[in-house]
Homo-oligomer: A and B are copies of this chain.
Amino acid sequence: MSEDFTLPSVRVTAPPADRFAEFLKRRGKRVTQQRRLIVEQVYSHHDHFDADELISHLQELIAQRKVSRPTVYRTLGELVEAGLLRKMVLDGRSVFEHDYGYPRHDHLYCQMCNSLIEFHSAEIEQLRDAVARRHDFQVHGHRMFVTGVCATCRRVQQEG
């Protein structure tokens, strides 16, 4: 169920659940059963997911009335505020990914199979900063999507 990340042997960061608890306390919010369950599910895989996928993984708990749909949405928002998740919009639906204990990255987005391939380029960041400087713009971050077709889909396409 949860053999999460193989972190470097020296743990430099607290577990997400702890980070979240800390965030909640700082905000005068409470560590509830449902927030615990949701964070556990969210961090049980390193995947991109949307609210619906998360909810379907929580089906059983929802059936047992341990968690509800609105609470999932509410908690996802808090996890983003806490800096534990990154949110992006793909084809109208909100997609989330881990944003803690995981390196910054951008995505190659395959328009055939909708898969996301992660990459990182320090050079692109440098160019970004140069452009920003030129515009006297203070950078907080960026988001980049490269759209196209992945190797697998191109292969399938040729065969078909």
Seen from chain A, the residues whose Cβ lies within 8 Å of a Cβ on chain B are 89, 92, 108, 110-111, 117, 119, 121, 123-124, 127-128, 131-132, 134-151, 154
**Contacting pair A135 B147 (CB below 8 A):** no
A131 vs B150: C-alpha distance when bound (angstroms): 12
Query: What chain B residues lie within 8 Å of A138 (beta carbons)?
Result: 148-150, 154
How near does chain B come to A1, taking the closest CB pair, in angstroms? 14
Q: Which of A108, A128, A136, A146 has the most CB of B within 10 A?
A: A146
Closest partner residue, chain B, to A153 (CB atom): B138
Residue from the list B89, B143, B150 in contact with A144, Cβ < 8 A: B143
**Contacting pair B135 A142 (CB below 8 A):** no
How near does chain B come to A134, taking the closest CB pair, in angstroms? 8
